[in-house]
Amino acid sequence: MPDESLLDLAEYISEKLEKHVVSHEFIHGELIIHAKPESIVQVLQFLRDGRECEFTTLCDICGVDYFGKPLRFEAVYSLLSMRQNIRIRVKISVSDGQIIPSVTSLFSSALWYEREMWDMYGMLFSDNPDLRRILTDYGFTGYPLRKDFPLMGHVELRYDEEQKRVVYEPVHLTQEYRNFDNLSPWEGMTNVQLERSENSANQQHSYCGVKEEQPVEEEGEEEHA
């Protein structure tokens, strides 16, 4: 259950930003604000400048891909209030190709975060002064963190001795590498393997407090004694 101060803050934000906020919720005691995409600048500015908020630090902006949903992507803004020692998250849901207003005018660190989201998810931000790839190559095809992006990628690179430069080639996988049974290693264990694992688990060792068997004296030694 969240603190009473956090509950009051959620009601205060919902009341002041009634036209810009869709809803709010608490997950693991943390306040989550669901805002309208076109109002993200107004929401973050209020959270930064409001006397009851003062979330002056933008810790991160990350993306989520809900492949198959009409509003496929979700942008998550993580904010920190140093004065109140409270963290808050603001989420917006957008469709593929929908343009999101940039918040670089409010937080300078947003420039790098928005570039990363463009590079990894293909999410567009308007008014970003330098929206270009940041982690992949300039001629990279696709967006690596999308759910429909192949694990091996579309192209691979190698150094060509004849051309004396790095070249890109389409990825070609043999058929044997494409057949995956997706079976858990625990579910794939045979009865023999299970019996062996159970027997090894039930074995008792001398160092666990079990007394070792004493050697039996030979008959000749008893008569001699």
pLDDT, tens digit (0-9, with 9 covering 90-100), for 155-181 = 777 888 999 888 878 877 655 555 555
Q: Is 209 left (phi over 0), alpha (psi -120 to 50) or beta?
A: left
- Please state the domain extents for the chain: 4-143
Query: What is the greatest pairwise CA distance in the chain?
Result: 104
CATH architecture of structural domain 4-143: 2-Layer Sandwich (3.30)
- Of 102, 45, 48, 104, residue with least CA distance to 75: 102
Dist. CA 47–CA 44, nearest whole Å: 5
Please give the structure tokens belonging to residue 9. 């803050």
Helix (H) or strand (E) run with residue 42 in it: helix 40-49
Helix (H) or strand (E) run with residue 44 in it: helix 40-49
pLDDT, tens digit (0-9, with 9 covering 90-100), for 97-133 = 999 999 999 999 999 999 999 999 999 999 999 999 9
Instruction: Specify whether the CB–CB gap between 164 and 139 falls below 8 A.
Output: no
- Residue 168: what pLDDT? 79
pLDDT, tens digit (0-9, with 9 covering 90-100), for 174-215 = 555 555 555 555 555 555 555 655 665 555 544 444 455 555
Check residues 213 and 47 and name the one with the higher pLDDT.
47
| pLDDT-above-70 percentage for the chain | 76
- Residue 207: what pLDDT? 45
- Residue 13: what pLDDT? 94
How big is the chain, counted in residues?
225
